[in-house]
Structure 1
Amino acid sequence: MPDELAENLSGKEVMTSNGTYIGVLHNIQMDLKTGAIGDLFVSPFDDVSIDQHRFETTQDDGEEKFSIPVSRVKSVDDCVVVQQ
């Protein structure tokens, strides 16, 4: 994922490694000093229960989002695939 530009990631759908679509990439946490990406904030789809998945959650823009460490990203192409 380091080769991907953040602007190209925003709005991509996010899928778990078992093939379940969980939401859309909403925001990215980045260390401004180092440029390292920390967490991806994913807006869950309406039919996805936050409690169904073992991802941490956080409030971002007043809504609950999945907070997924970049270390769980397995691939980025048409969608972002994260380890469940």
Structure 2
Amino acid sequence: MSEIFARDLGGKRVVGTDGKIFGRLHTVTMDPESGALLDLVVEPGDGSPRSASERSDDDRLWVPVDRIETVKDQIIIRSSR
């Protein structure tokens, strides 16, 4: 697998495998002890699925990184668990 730099992820569109647009990537959370990535924090777009993930107090979506299918021009995630 090729390396992907965090600076290249910001603002990428996050789309479900079913074609639903979740929004744009705001940031990524990580475990400070292990360095493991935990969640994508997504700025929701119009029509973003309400039940797709937890929402923070500022209405951003939190999507666990284990739902990522691929990262290229956009980030593709499994739409449901």
TM-score past 0.5 threshold: yes
Report sequence identity in percent.
33
Q: Does 1:40 align with 2:68?
A: no
Q: Does 1:31 align with 2:6?
A: no
1:24-44 Cα offsets, whole Å, 9 max, x none, are: 000110122221100010000
The answer to whether the Cα contact below 8 Å between 1:50 and 1:66 also exists between their aligned partners in 2 is no
Give the aligned CA root-mean-square deviation in angstroms: 1.9
1:11-66 Cα offsets, whole Å, 9 max, x none, are: 10000011111200001101222211000100001x22552x3311113xxx2111
Q: Does 1:76 align with 2:34?
A: no
The answer to whether the Cα contact below 8 Å between 1:12 and 1:79 also exists between their aligned partners in 2 is yes
Cα gap change, 1:49/1:70 in structure 2, threshold over 3 Å: closer, same or farther?
Answer: closer
Q: CA deviation at 1:7?
A: 1.1
Secondary structure of the residue that 2:60 maps to in structure 1?
strand
The match for 1:22 is 22
Secondary structure of the residue that 1:71 maps to in structure 2?
helix
Paired with 1:2 and 1:34, the residues of 2 have a C-alpha distance of 21
Q: Does 1:66 align with 2:61?
A: yes
- TM-score w.r.t. the length of structure 2 is 0.85
Larger helix proportion, structure 1 or 2?
1
The match for 2:53 is 55
Aligned length: 79
The answer to whether the Cα contact below 8 Å between 2:10 and 2:25 also exists between their aligned partners in 1 is yes
Larger strand proportion, structure 1 or 2?
1
